[in-house]
Amino acid sequence: MPNTTLTTGKQRGRRSWAEPWKVKVVEPLKVTTREQRERAIAEAGYNTFLLRSEDVYIDLLTDSGTNAMSDYQWAGMMLGDEAYAGSRNFYNLEAAVQKYYGYKYLVPSHQGRGAEHIISRVLIKPGDYIPGNMYFTTTRMHQEMAGGTFVDVIIDEAHDSQSLHPFKGNVDLQKLEDLIKRVGAEKIPYVSVAATVNMAGGQPISMQNMRDVRALCNRHGVHIILDATRAAENAWFIKIHEEGYAGKSVANILRELCSYTDGCTMSGKKDALVNIGGWLALNDYDLYEEARNLVVVFEGLHTYGGMAGRDMEAMARGIEESVQDDHMRARIGQVEYLGELLVEWGVPIVVPIGGHAIFLDARRFYPDMPQDHFPAQTLAAELYVDSGIRAMERGVVSAGRDPKTGQHRYPKLELVRLTIPRRVYTQAHMDVTAEAVEAVYQRRAEARGLKMIYEPKYLRFFQARFEPL
Ligand code: F0G
């Protein structure tokens, strides 16, 4: 049995945190039986993306679009100006992005990948290389569809689930410089820097590293495009772990971080505390003009980009709330709480604990299972059957196939992500989750692995189907 005595902050030698909000509306959850869950996961082809949400008890599939909005945001929804052009809410959103992220020009998009599509089309030519601090699925897909090749230039520690480096999201400057020397700066339209790095376990990049990347890029005339999806969370880690930042606010740190980049793509569905929305922001007028022109083709007019006026208002207000230190302390504190329980109980997870999720190390759950039997996919299915908790595979299925060779890409990290939606679940839900994971870990010897029986061409993890071996 897990040792459940060490749950309060006081017993860990520090004061407990609590959420800086109280609950106003509740959404009932359905509790299912093990038999019902066995049937549901088989019908879903052992892919948690294909489960019906009503069959899920605690939904940790993603922190994307799953946020609980505040009363202030909901009040803003009533102030939606649904004009086709020039909505008042667009100008409020533009002002919020300029104030908190510091970029000059805003191109709204329906979500992050809409912005990734536009920037990839604007900047990438066939044959180009796009270095980045580890890939993200949709980001790399758009870079490849524009004719580019993604090159991983993250530090080696990021690929090691046990390295305790505090900034595992850092760019390896040597790897970046070597690439520039090898292919030439003119073949590198921009460096794609994510903060925090989702696929590495929600790991942050340090301010110093960002400054160094800027200096290197300046020497070679290369742009930097930030994936700002969880950059406010990254700012919190800089505040806690980087010298000189303890006394600065998340808002100030975020602005400084962005100031070293030429623009950003954003999935507002994460940091910005909304259910839908995103943007592309740029400082260069000519690039902005081209992006603004393209957005009309793919997303919608440049003053809504696929969002309703009310969505833009909710996001403008969400940005303001997302950079409050109290909010961030509770948000990351909850993730840490779950992670610390699992560490205490000896369950293998990625350390240090990241910003938006706990990543279970499926390789160490199932050391004898070959990667071709999809250990992380197996673990996510096992966890659902045990408890009704829905997690997500982040291993060989997510990595997809190499477009040139057609072979599986075998990532070093074979992970299952327990992603924590913002302001949605309580500490009791975290306790239930930790106990369910521990139970699956105890029964790890029984897991048999899976066989893929249907594989879509693009972003296969969303829709692939499996069968037990
Ligand atoms: N960049 C990062 C780092 C992301 O995590 C995501 C989405 C995107 C870009 C794309 O944004 O979904 O709004 O189009 N991540 C989700 C996740 C899907 O579950 O991690 P989007």
Residues 334 and 290 in one domain: no
For residue 4, name the pLDDT band (cuts at 50, 70, 90).
very low
DSSP letter for 206, please.
Answer: -
Number of domains in the chain: 2
Residue whose CA is closest, atom 11 of ligand 1? 112
* Residue 14 scores a pLDDT above 90: no
Residue whose CA is closest, atom 15 of ligand 1? 64
Residues 317 and 237 in one domain: yes
Let me know if residue 19 belongs to a domain: no
* HEC letters along 387-448: HCEECEEECHHHHCECCCCCCECCCCCCEEEEECCCCCCCHHHHHHHHHHHHHHHHCHHHCC
Let me know if residue 273 belongs to a domain: yes
Going from the Cα of 124 to the center of ligand 1, the distance in angstroms, rounded, reads 20
Residues 91 and 238 in one domain: yes
Residues 395 and 461 in one domain: yes
Residues 86 and 57 in one domain: no
Let me know if residue 11 belongs to a domain: no
Residues 183 and 82 in one domain: yes
This prediction has a pTM of: 0.95
Residue whose CA is closest, atom 18 of ligand 1? 64
Decide: residue 282, CB within 10 A, 0-12 exposed, 13-18 middle, 19+ buried.
buried
Mutate to test the pocket of ligand 1, among 138, 193, 264 (most ligand atoms within 8 A of CB): 138
**Using one digit for the tens of pLDDT, what is the confidence trace for 86-139?**
999 999 999 999 999 999 999 999 999 999 999 999 999 999 999 999 999 999
Q: What is residue 173's predicted lDDT score, i.e. its pLDDT? A: 98
Going from the Cα of 413 to the center of ligand 1, the distance in angstroms, rounded, reads 18
Query: CB within 8 A of 7, min separation 6: which ones?
Result: 341, 431
Going from the Cα of 198 to the center of ligand 1, the distance in angstroms, rounded, reads 8
Q: What is residue 1's predicted lDDT score, i.e. its pLDDT? A: 45
**Using one digit for the tens of pLDDT, what is the confidence trace for 379-431?**
999 999 999 999 999 999 999 999 899 999 999 999 999 999 999 999 999 99
Residue whose CA is closest, atom 8 of ligand 1? 112
For residue 185, name the pLDDT band (cuts at 50, 70, 90).
very high
- Report the half-sphere exposure of 187 (CA within 13 A, side-chain side): 17
For residue 10, name the pLDDT band (cuts at 50, 70, 90).
confident
Q: What is the CATH number of the domain that holds 278?
A: 3.40.640.10
Of 322, 346, 380, the last residue of a domain is: 322
Of 292, 322, 352, the last residue of a domain is: 322
State which amino acid sits at residue 188: I
Q: What is the CATH number of the domain that holds 401?
A: 3.90.1150.10
What is the mean predicted confidence (pLDDT) over 304-324?
A: 98
Which residues are identified as catalytic?
A: 84, 136-137, 227, 270, 394, 461
State which amino acid sits at residue 223: H
Q: Which long-range contacts (CB under 8 A, 24 or more apart) does 52-57 make?
A: 54/30, 55/30, 55/388, 56/384, 56/388, 56/389, 56/390, 57/29, 57/30, 57/31, 57/32, 57/387, 57/388, 57/389
Let me know if residue 169 belongs to a domain: yes
Tell me the C-alpha to C-alpha distance, in Å, between residue 43 and each of 37, 38, 50, 408.
Answer: 10, 9, 8, 25
Q: What is residue 17's predicted lDDT score, i.e. its pLDDT? A: 77
Lining ligand 1 with CB less than 6 A are 62, 64, 111-113, 136, 138-139, 194, 198, 227, 229, 267, 269, 278
Residues 247 and 196 in one domain: yes
Residues 54 and 75 in one domain: no
Residues 46 and 170 in one domain: no
Residues 147 and 208 in one domain: yes
Q: What is residue 398's predicted lDDT score, i.e. its pLDDT? A: 96
Residue numbers of the domain that contains 391: 34-63+325-468
Residues 161 and 291 in one domain: yes
Let me know if residue 387 belongs to a domain: yes
Going from the Cα of 13 to the center of ligand 1, the distance in angstroms, rounded, reads 36
Let me know if residue 164 belongs to a domain: yes
Which of 391, 399, 384 is closest to 459 using CA atoms? 399
Going from the Cα of 219 to the center of ligand 1, the distance in angstroms, rounded, reads 31
Let me know if residue 276 belongs to a domain: yes
**Using one digit for the tens of pLDDT, what is the confidence trace for 283-305?**
999 999 999 999 999 999 999 99
Residue whose CA is closest, atom 9 of ligand 1? 112
Of 269, 301, 322, the last residue of a domain is: 322
Higher confidence at residue 439 or residue 17? 439
Residues 318 and 329 in one domain: no
Average pLDDT of the chain is 96
